[in-house]
Structure 1
Amino acid sequence: MEDLLNTEILNGQTLGDFLTLDFLAGILGSVLSAILILIVGYMIAGWVRRRIVGLSDRYEHLDNTLFNFLGNIAKYIIVGFAVLFVLNTFGVQTTSVVAIIGAAGLAIGLALQGTLSNVAAGVMLIFFRPIKQGDFVEVNGQMGTVKDISLNFTELASLSNVQIIIPNSEVWGNTITNYSIYNTRRAEWTFGVGYGVDLYQAERIIRDTITSDERAHVEPEPFVQVNNLGGSSVDFLVRVWCDSDVFFQFQADMKRKVKEALDDGGINIPFPTRTIIQE
């Protein structure tokens, strides 16, 4: 009877082989090995991610967003390899699994071309940093202050404090005008005076009014010259350097102050006139 039972077990005709100690020990060993591989893989992945993210905390000029992204990518890659090792432990042919994952990745990549291009552009923006938070920029016809740069889009706040969302592919692929990258800017005005006025006096008034403002830089030397003889005015071209953060207010203030100073100095400021002759 015992010989008959053993014969049936060997021939796979009963369920007795699933209850043998050797088989259970093998299953248990595989499960424990898989758990151990996953735990070790997860611990290594977490350690690698922390090391990568820690680089941005150690060096202030490095962007946190980029290193968080790179850290997560490294973590997922390590965990993915750990899962492949687990599958291999259970006898699964990992070559076919990798092929399936590759095919699925290709299909997903083709379906998400626009999104992936935004992510790629976001990585380039974060890595090369042509713009950063707080910069006042003009991108793709939109002007505003940079509020955030994510992996998918760049957020601007317009002069009217309206949120503007621009896909990163349109930011990286277009001309970027960054008004905040340099500490100084050159303000420029054109002031017209009448043909009958004393040009030396007009020039002195314009120069003294602008250079007396504490926002005007002495170096480089301010430029005040007659630039054009117009149809009804002699035009002075004025160029003065100032700090970038006061540029707009400085430029606006000087228009009013120069006009008031010319009026006080008796300098005629011509304006368009029209003479109507009735017959």
Structure 2
Amino acid sequence: MDYSLDLKTLDLIKQQLIDLAFQVGPKIVLGLIIFFIGKYLIGMANKIMRRAFDRSEVDPSLATFLLSFSRVVLWVLLLISIATTMGVQMTSFIAILGAAGLAVGLALQGSLSNFAGGVLILLFKPFKVGDTVEAQGTTGEVESIDILYTKIKNFDNKLVTLPNGILANNLIVNYSQKSTRRVDMKVGIAYGTDIKKVRKIILGILAKDERIHHEPVAVVLFNNFGESSLDLIIRCWTDTANLWPVYWENMEAIKEALEKNQISIPFPQREVHHLYPEEKK
């Protein structure tokens, strides 16, 4: 059997290739033009957005996320435009994207929840890098806020990584957001002690500390009849950064002042009485 191609067949194939080139060629050229123009415009758009964020002093974490997200959206739109130019049916293309998105969404449910939580944290700013927060049983300084996770450094220098989805949907205590904090101290004195005298001594100590604010005024209040002591609560206000130094130093100063004035600071104790029948005495 002769498998050789005759000239007529070769001419037919050649003509079909030429026709195909005339049909597809312009679309390919147009697609390449759209690609390079779109790439240039995406770069320009990102530069404009970056400058706008710099002028408006947007949080760096939020700016980085928004730039990355907008770049992805613009590239998707560019690819859709190129596919449309090449003659791809949009209904089929959208169906493929939808199916792929559904599969990815089911596989990455936890990550998508963290992603959404990161967006909420960056937008509403319940805390920022450098703040001291308490969340999910962890207290420490926020070291970084990523789009999926937040890293908190404990006071003993352990790094805790928490998913943003959990943070965005649970209680967060921010100790740094307010410029002033109330210092609460508790002191127990022996029963029979003159409370007014003790109050005067303690307020005199607090008045010497320049870090303590005059408004609201510091107070010493009788709080409770304890098992072994009369319990007093001391409240004063200071700058957030001075909270713990004010607490530690004044607690020590109060102890020394009470001892100097011979005011007893009791410790828990219990009296035991033995009762015997009359014939066993």
Instruction: Give the TM-score of the pair, scaled to structure 2.
Output: 0.87
Specify the alignment match of 2:55 in structure 1.
58
Over the aligned positions, Cα root-mean-square deviation in angstroms equals 2.3
Q: Is residue 30 of structure 1 aligned with residue 66 of structure 2?
A: no
Question: What is the match of residue 278 of structure 2?
Answer: none
Contact 1:210–1:254 under 8 Å retained in 2: yes
Deviating beyond 6 angstroms after TM superposition, the runs of 4 or more aligned structure 1 residues are: 276-279
Distance 1:229 1:124 in 2: 47
Does the alignment pair 1:114 with 2:107? Answer: no
Q: Using the alignment, how far apart are the partners of 2:248 and 2:174 within structure 1? A: 20
> What is residue 45 of structure 1 aligned with on the other side?
42
Distance 1:44 1:95 in 2: 26
* The one of 4, 14, 17 aligned to 2:15: 17
User: 1:268 and 1:57 mapped to 2: Cα distance?
Assistant: 61
Q: Distance in 2 between matches of 1:172 and 1:90?
A: 43
Amino acid aligned to 2:50: V
Q: How does 1:1-279 map to 2 (within 5 A)?
A: 14-18=12-16, 20=18, 24-60=21-57, 62-275=58-271
Equivalent AA in structure 2 for residue 221 of structure 1: V
In 2, Cα distance between equivalents of 1:35 and 1:124: 38
- Checking the alignment, whether the CA contact within 8 Å between 1:63 and 1:127 is kept in structure 2 is no
> TM-score with structure 1 length normalisation?
0.88
Distance in 1 (CA, whole Å) between partners of 2:202 and 2:151 is 41
Larger mean CA deviation between 126-135 and 51-60 belongs to 51-60
Residue 137 of structure 2 aligns to which amino acid in structure 1? G
Count of residues paired in the alignment: 270
C-alpha distance 197-34 of structure 1, shift in aligned 2 (>3 A): same
| Cα distance between partner residues in 2 of 1:232 and 1:87 | 83
Cα displacement string for residues 57-76 of structure 1 (whole angstroms, at most 9, x for unaligned residues): 1122x222223222222222
Tell me the distance in 2 between the aligned counterparts of 1:148 and 1:215: 31
Deviates more, 1:75-84 or 1:136-145: 75-84
Other structure's SS at 2:141 match: strand
Alpha-carbon deviations, 1:212-270, whole Å to 9, x = none?
Answer: 11221111011112222333322222100011111122112211110001111121222
Please report how far the alpha carbon of residue 25 of structure 1 lies from its aligned counterpart in structure 2 after TM superposition: 5.0
Listed one character per residue, the Cα deviations across residues 3-54 of structure 1 (whole Å, up to 9, x for unaligned) are: x978x68xxx83111554x654554433321111001111222222233333
Alignment partners' CA distance in 1, 2:74 and 2:266: 75
What is the percent sequence identity of the aligned residues?
A: 35
Q: Using the alignment, how far apart are the partners of 1:83 and 1:172 within structure 2?
A: 34
SS of aligned partner of 1:240? strand
Contact 2:129 2:144 in 1 (8 A): yes
The one-letter code sitting in structure 1 at the alignment partner of 2:54 is D
Instruction: Output the CA distance in 2 between the equivalents of 1:123 and 1:80.
Output: 20
DSSP 3-state at the match of 2:53 = helix
Aligned residue for 2:223, secondary structure, equals strand
- Determine helix, strand or coil for the equivalent of 2:265: coil
Measured in 2, the distance between the counterparts of 1:93 and 1:198 equals: 90
- In the alignment, the residues of structure 1 paired with residue 43 and residue 203 of structure 2 have an alpha-carbon distance, to the nearest angstrom, of 64
